[in-house]
Structure 1
């Protein structure tokens, strides 16, 4: 899977986990626009868990306990989602499937056939206090396909930038390429942010004269962006080097961004953690769509 899969020429579709919730509808609309921009097909999938043992012993209408009825309802829900996506992006090839099984296992397996997995941040069981639902959280940890998480309907404007977290790690090139590819397709600018360290220098007993470190960080950021800038000369770029911690630096700039692009792991990669601390923070709190690209 290419790291900039949303913009590559692969024939793999964009896969949307669709349950009809507000968050899923926003995810489907975002994915339809991305499919149109990237020339891909769109695939909506709703997975229902059946039977439901928790219904045993309850006095419920027969239709509620009828598996065939539940599957028909799921198919109708997907059909309505497909029709809505066709209205959003008339030229896109859109199909949908309603499947029975475990949502995590099914979507994780299907994601291997997709160029991009698009998730709503929370589904039908969401509460107002939950910022990232359990299914979305588990899928972001499990799949290796690039993943976009959508929290709310899009509020970005033509002036909204693509925000890219650049940490200088081995995955930075993939993250940068994915962010620039999205920006180029949408005619947007890029704000590339590099934070010196996961802790402020003061906590590390840093020197009073921080200018040498700032110069080194500025050079690192410029080097990481050089290739993508050369391939996408039309993309406006703002380079930001900051003393702030990476998660704070990105979250402070996420409001109003068209997309925030980060890697699953950064400089402090741990083999026993599926997601790094910065990735975890932005998935839960960023006020814009988040792409895990590397």
Structure 2
């Protein structure tokens, strides 16, 4: 498939004319949280932001929980965020919040009315883990789009990459990815991977099956490409059809990317535990920020 190039992009609206994006930054003051903080400061150049810096002290919410070293450390972590954003991104409206309770529950609850949830991860590179990281659990449980920023993140001029399922569930992720690509002035790359499954038949039949599977996959990718071009005529869009496992294809495509976007199908916890989902596979070893977008919630 060939690259589709749109017409000259219109100049983005001034920040003062845009709806402020409500962002929750979950942090514990560690290196991963610092990378997420820097990513938000960089985002402030192209987005109007209202940020809540949140740290959760993992203790029961009882009288006196907000005394002692754990609360002091959490308070220091969120104030570090507000101080940094005040100096590095003065346009950001930032507040600090320290709460007690189960971190996963409190973070996802805080993000229910947000446009975007951001957190960092210490799992980077090509590592593989049997147990999902905390950031992965949060991203798959959150009801709003969630961006996981790898420790050591640095700005990239590469494209925004969207993992395409082609089963009708891509609309939310497509809108999110296209918005990001438009605002950043980057190319949007649509990646769809396909594989033959089942017992390999004789050679001649296998070739026919391969051609049929490839044609079907190409059709699914073309349908998403057509939607992208129709909705975002000023955006440069490039389709990429890969004969490989979805996670492997996306990991290759994300090298040098500004952002990788994948959809979440709202799997149950048991389903997520039993399946090596695409979103988890990408989240567990990111080399660039990864956005997980639920079908019914899109930041804008």
TM-score above 0.5: yes
Residue of structure 2 aligned with 1:26, choices 21, 32, 35: 35
Higher relative contact order (CA 8 A, sep 6+): 2
Q: 1:152 to 1:229 in 2, by over 3 A?
A: farther
TM-score by length of 2: 0.77
Q: Distance in 2 between the 1:271 and 1:82 partners?
A: 34
Map of 2:147 onto structure 1 = 148
The answer as to 2:252 corresponding to 1:252 is yes
Query: Does the aligned pair in 1 maintain the 2:44–2:91 contact within 8 Å?
Result: no
3-state SS of the aligned residue for 1:163?
strand
Map of 1:46 onto structure 2 = 55
My pick for the range that moved more, 140-149 or 103-112, is: 140-149
Q: 1:271 to 1:106 in 2, by over 3 A?
A: closer
Query: Does the aligned pair in 1 maintain the 2:55–2:74 contact within 8 Å?
Result: yes
Map of 2:242 onto structure 1 = 242
Runs of 5+ consecutive residues of structure 1 not aligned to the other structure: 1-8, 52-64
RMSD: 3.1
Query: Does the aligned pair in 1 maintain the 2:122–2:151 contact within 8 Å?
Result: no
The answer as to 2:33 corresponding to 1:14 is no
Q: Distance in 1 between the 2:132 and 2:30 partners?
A: 12
Q: How far apart are residue 287 of structure 1 and its match?
A: 1.4
Q: How far apart are residue 35 of structure 1 and its match?
A: 4.4
Map of 1:229 onto structure 2 = 229
My pick for the range that moved more, 30-39 or 247-256, is: 30-39
Higher helix share: 1
Q: 1:257 to 1:45 in 2, by over 3 A?
A: same
3-state SS of the aligned residue for 2:153?
coil
Q: Distance in 2 between the 1:111 and 1:245 partners?
A: 32
- Give matches, 1:96-245, under 5 Å: 96-122=96-122, 134-158=133-157, 160-197=158-195, 200=196, 204-205=200-201, 207-209=206-208, 210-245=210-245
Q: Distance in 1 between the 2:223 and 2:253 partners?
A: 22
Map of 1:93 onto structure 2 = 93
Q: How far apart are residue 49 of structure 1 and its match?
A: 2.5
